[in-house]
Amino acid sequence: MLFSTAAAAGKYDYFSDRFKAAYKWLAETDLDSLKEGSYPITDGVTGNVQEYSTKAPSEGRFEAHDRFFDIQYMIAGRERFGICKREGLKVHSVDAENDLIFYEEPDFSGDVCLFKGDMIVVSPDDAHKPRLIMGSTPEPVRKIVIKVKV
């Protein structure tokens, strides 16, 4: 799945060498054997294996990045993933060192349900709210977030 506007789709090359390297790494790597941590893939592309429990939407916050795309790939588990356009959102806080901008809850947003083997590509034009619970009970998740430098 690729969430975008027509204007933004022409702005970025989702099949550049960096993206191709990320997709190839996902296809050729034994993802189940990876431990939590960071894995360099190529110049400007890093995979980060994360393990966590999903949480209630009220515990999450929309975020965005200026310098990186996120390719979020589910190794195991399932989660709801909030998504919306970044334009017009009210900034809550900024962590410039880690390229994180957090936002107040928007008036309108959507959710995508991610299951094992699913991925979503999030551009710097989008805000996202990951790690959300799908039912009423938190669930364990193993995910790779690949950072692709703009």
Q: What is the pLDDT of residues 101-136, one digit of tens each?
A: 999 999 999 999 999 999 999 999 999 999 999 989
Residue 89 neighbours by CB distance under 10 Å: 19
Query: Is position 34 within any domain?
Result: yes
E strands in the chain: 37-42, 45-53, 62-64, 68-76, 78-85, 91-95, 100-103, 110-115, 119-122, 126-132, 140-149
Query: Is position 1 within any domain?
Result: no
Report pTM: 0.91
Query: Is position 40 within any domain?
Result: yes
Residue 1 pLDDT? 45
Query: Is position 129 within any domain?
Result: yes
Enumerate residues 6+ apart whose C-beta is below 8 A from 59.
none
Q: How many domains does the chain have?
A: 1
Q: Which domain CATH number covers 45? A: 2.60.120.370
Which DSSP category does 16 fall into?
S
- pLDDT tens digits for range 7-47: 666 677 777 899 999 999 999 999 999 999 999 999 999 99
> pLDDT class for 63, splitting at 50, 70, 90?
very high
Higher pLDDT, 2 or 26: 26
Residue 126 pLDDT? 92
Phi, psi of 108 (to 5 degrees): -135, 135
Higher pLDDT, 132 or 150: 132
Residue ranges making up the domain that contains 84: 6-149
Q: What is the mean pLDDT of residues 71-90?
A: 95
Distance between CA atoms of residues 75 and 53, nearest Å: 14
User: Tokens for 120?
Assistant: 């979503």
Residue 16 pLDDT? 85
